[in-house]
Structure 1
């Protein structure tokens, strides 16, 4: 060691001797010298990175808290105190749907700051934003936002119904569709007669009218395929279209379900014997087409006016259906009753009396006239628009006289005068062609 070091050491020893440590200081450990400060710790980049990491950790914690709170808000009972019907228009985006729901009081947020964003965030969190369906919904009281989302995704909207009675023409069906306020869209054109199945159809508000027509066409095609496959193989039809044609006539002739197979058998028996069908509904369709109703009683002039559909003048079936028959009428023609009857007339109580011979038929006509006279006397005469016409023949007339011409009458007069539409004009058999 050099002399300077020795001097320092000697100086320290002297100070120690001059200032001795107290017992406590002597026992206390000596303080370690401070660590040297790293230059990198003072680097600005490191400082920034440390701050970013801290912010990231805080952000994750905040996001977790927000998600936990949002999930609770999304699943807790909503504000509705009673069922509420709300319409969600077609092509509404998620924000628009949330606006509607909040305006209608179906959803709410506890703070105006968040508004409907809780609902939007919940839907996005469940990845359902592209699956919400338009429609008319009945939201129950207390439904949660998640419950609202599930209803919109499932499409459990309110179903409306539209009923088409059997026997309407296609034009009448289109008119009924156009009159329904819950349906939308225009109908491109009137479907062919006999291609729609009259039934009750369900739909949601805003459904297209063309969609209902498509359902009716599909239902008709399925029913006809099934019924045609199970038909009586002895039927004189070249194809399903002829079955539909006769079924439309049967549909218009009687409104009683249990009579349809019997009425079908009468017309089929007449076809087998080359007798004209002489059905009044075919007269009406030949005159007014798809309008369906004449708007007045049938006159002798109407019967005498030839049209392609007037089965008092054309042999066999008309060129096509005169209405849209229901399933029951199609089945009745496909599997008719086994009878030999060729005639039927109203029985005065809403049904018909059938006969295999003209003589028996004339007796039934006489009975019907007696009932009608009694009704007229009591002021209860009604109008039956589905009965085949008949004309009285001489009391001793037999089947050979069936082709005799009907009594002459003023073409502008009603057929009988006792009622607007006289179902007592005979269904006259026609002579077989030679």
Structure 2
């Protein structure tokens, strides 16, 4: 009787061992068999999701073929606690083991957004709100003038205008408005420091002043080769105590006064009293009027060496430059009077 029981026990143990061996072999085969995805698949992994629920979600999206086997694999490897929340993208041919490795790595899906040079803060906020990041434009705008947030980001101004560096960024879905703005500000600091290393000896501008001048240069020309020369004109005017008399600052002043940009500037607009109106106020305006890029920052701190005090638009995005007022008057007649008289057309709208 005892021998019979011992034999039965051995056989039962062998059967259980065989079952575990088979299961383990099956799991290894499952984990190593790739699944080819015909198109990228995005799966959201919320915080606190359980391994079984996650396995089912991945199977429903076609990332793995068997939810139960994936769950058993996660349990066997003890990976449940190591899974990280976030939005993940899967593409191509992936084995379940590679899928799990991706989830453990925390390499969440990133959304790229490009912020062009020369946008105003409100335009940047609208761009971020319309992107796949789904940020709150009203919160972004509130943060941009919030004293506490400005102090945390070490912005030495009353708003983030000028400190939202134009670049291509990559953020995960769910990134906070604070984190996005902070990253842009940090990029602005880094680019300013790079530009400051090449500052010419005759240039004496603090950070806010340099960014302010760079923002004016950015708005005055779309021709990259002109930035340093336009900056030279403004530096020459500042050195002589002349007003800058630059239209983009008037447009910004009118925006602050009226909440909207005019399509065209009038003589009355140029006479409007405001700290940002450089036709009325000497020196630089109180702060930036847009968010300049790296090239404009370099131009503001390392301008060309020139004698020019004026520039006139050729009506094609470029300018002609003059050292004297007499020369300037002649060019205004040529490019702003005779040009439109010879080819009647609606003058180009002022660009904010």
Query: Shorter-chain TM-score: which interval?
Result: 0.7 to 0.9
Between structure 1 and structure 2, the one with the greater Rg is 1
Deviates more, 1:61-70 or 1:142-151: 142-151
Q: What's the counterpart of residue 73 of structure 1?
A: 30
Residues 1:325 and 1:290: Cα distance change in structure 2 (over 3 Å): farther
Counterpart position of 1:169:
120
The corresponding residue for 1:118 is 69
Q: 1:332 to 1:81 in 2, by over 3 A?
A: closer
In the other structure, the counterpart of 1:366 is 333
SS at match of 1:372: helix
Q: Deviations over 1:36-65 (max 9, x none)?
A: x9xxx69xxxx6x98777655543332122
Q: Is the 8 A contact 2:43 2:58 kept in 1?
A: no
After superposition, the C-alpha distances for 1:286-305 in whole angstroms (9 at most, x for unaligned) are 22139985133112221111
8 Å contact from structure 2 (residues 200, 301) kept in 1: yes
Q: Quick check: 2:27–2:69 contact (8 Å CA) kept in 1?
A: yes
Q: 1:88 aligns with which of 44, 56, 62?
A: 44
Q: How does 1:368-383 map to 2 (within 5 A)?
A: 368=335, 369-376=337-344, 379=345, 381-383=346-348
1:207-228 deviation per Cα after TM superposition (whole angstroms, max 9, x unaligned): 3343322221111111112222
Q: More displaced, 192-201 or 281-290? A: 281-290
SS of the residue corresponding to residue 274 of structure 1 reads coil
Q: Does 1:232 align with 2:200?
A: yes
Supply the distance in 1 between the matched residues of 2:302 and 2:257 (Cα, whole angstroms). 28
1:270 corresponds, among 229, 237, 253, to 237
Note the alpha carbon deviations across 1:158-183, whole angstroms, 9 max, x for none: 54321212122222212221222433
Quote the residue 1:254 is aligned against.
221
Q: Which runs of 5+ in 1 are unaligned?
A: 1-36, 110-115, 388-434
Q: What is the SS of the residue equivalent to 1:108?
A: coil
Question: C-alpha distance in 2, partners of 1:292/1:162?
Answer: 26
Q: Contact (CA 8 Å) 2:312, 2:319: kept in 1 or not?
A: yes
The answer (yes or no) to whether the contact 1:183–1:209 under 8 Å persists in 2 is no
Aligned residues: 332
1:319-354 alpha-carbon deviations (Å, 9 max, x no partner)? 111111111100111110000100001113221000
Determine the structure 1 residue equivalent to 2:155.
Answer: none
More helix by share: 2
- 2:270 is the alignment partner of 1:318: no
Structural mapping, 1:7-406, within 5 Å: 55-78=12-35, 80=36, 82-91=38-47, 92-109=49-66, 116-129=67-80, 130-140=82-92, 142-184=93-135, 186-187=139-140, 189-190=143-144, 191-237=159-205, 239-289=206-256, 294-368=261-335, 369-376=337-344, 379=345, 381-383=346-348, 385=350
Distance 1:347 1:384, change over 3 A: farther
Q: TM-score, normalised by structure 1?
A: 0.69
Q: Is the 8 A contact 2:164 2:188 kept in 1?
A: yes
CA distance in 1, matches of 2:172, 2:123: 22
Tell me, in whole angstroms, the C-alpha distance in 2 between the residues paired with 1:249 and 1:81: 50
Secondary structure of the structure 1 residue equivalent to 2:160: coil
Q: In the aligned structure 2, how far is the partner of 1:255 from the partner of 1:100?
A: 50
CA 1:323 to 1:291, structure 2 compared with 1: closer, same or farther past 3 Å?
A: farther
- Structure 2 Cα separation of the partners of residues 212 and 246 of structure 1: 25
Gaps of 5+ in 2: 145-158
Task: Give the strand-richer structure, 1 or 2.
Answer: 2
Instruction: Give secondary structure in 1 for the equivalent of 2:38.
Output: coil
RMSD across aligned positions (CA): 2.8
